[in-house]
Amino acid sequence: MVRRLRSGGKANLDQWRIDSDEAFEIAKAPIDYVSLQRWHLPQLHDLLTKIFWPGIDVSDSLNYLPEKCTVVAVYRRLVVGAAFLSSPEEAYLTYLVVRPGWELANIARNMLYFIIMANPRRDITLHVSANNPAMLLYNKFGFKAEEFIVGFYDDYLPKESRACKNAFRLRLRR
C-alpha cells in the first residue's frame, strides 16, 4: 500500500484496497517492556483481580525502585503482562501475570528474564500453585523447589474455588 501511495497514478478504489495480510502488517506493533508507571495501575489492578483475586493493589511498587522491581508488558497502550518483586532487598516475586489471549507471545518468559537480569547476585524466591503450568517456565530459568506448602492460598481464594490451594516455594540461587 505504501508503494502504491508513493507511485501516484490514478486514484481508483481498487488502488486503496488492503488485503488481510497487508492490514495485519499495518496493525502490528511491538510489545514494550517498561518499568511500572502510574497510568498502568488501573489496568493492572483489573488484570490481577481477574487472574488472581480481588483487592490486589500494587501502587506501592512505585516506591520500591520500579526499574529493578517491576516489568510491565505493553502493546500500544494495553497492559498485556506484568511482573513484580516485593522489594529489591527481599527479591520475592509477588506476581507474574499475562493477559488471557497473550500466553503464546513469550511475555512471561521475557518479563522473568528482565526481573532476573535487573537483580544480579540476588536470590529470587516465589510461591506458585502446585498445578500451575508456570512451574515449567520457572524450572527453565533454574528455580528449584524448596518446600511444598499445603493450603498456602486458603486465605486468598474463596472456599468454593476449584483452584489448587497448595503451593511450592521456589528459589533461584545466584
Give the model confidence (pLDDT) of 86-95 as tens digits.
Answer: 988 889 999 9
Q: Which residues contact 68 (CB under 8 A, 6 or more apart)?
A: 85, 88, 118, 119
Residue 75: which of 117, 110, 50, 118 has the closest Cα?
A: 110
CB 79 within 8 A of CB 88: no
Integer-rounded Cα Rg, in Å, for the chain is 21
Overall average pLDDT of the 58-84 stretch: 94
CB 80 within 8 A of CB 107: yes
Question: Cell numbers 498456602 label which residue?
Answer: 152
Overall average pLDDT of the 113-142 stretch: 95
Task: State how far the Cα of 40 lies from the Cα of 86, in Å rounded to an integer.
Answer: 17
Give the model confidence (pLDDT) of 78-124 as tens digits.
Answer: 999 999 999 888 899 999 999 999 999 999 999 999 999 999 989 99
User: For residue 167, is pLDDT > 50?
Assistant: yes
Residue 63: which of 41, 79, 81, 80 has the closest Cα?
A: 41
Task: State how far the Cα of 96 lies from the Cα of 124, in Å rounded to an integer.
Answer: 13
Q: Would you state the pLDDT for residue 19?
A: 53
Task: State how far the Cα of 34 lies from the Cα of 54, in Å rounded to an integer.
Answer: 25
CB atoms within 10 A of CB 26: 10
Backbone angles phi, psi at 71, to 5 degrees: -140, 130
The H helix count followed by the E strand count for the chain is: 6, 7
Task: Return the higher-pLDDT residue of 115 and 22.
Answer: 115
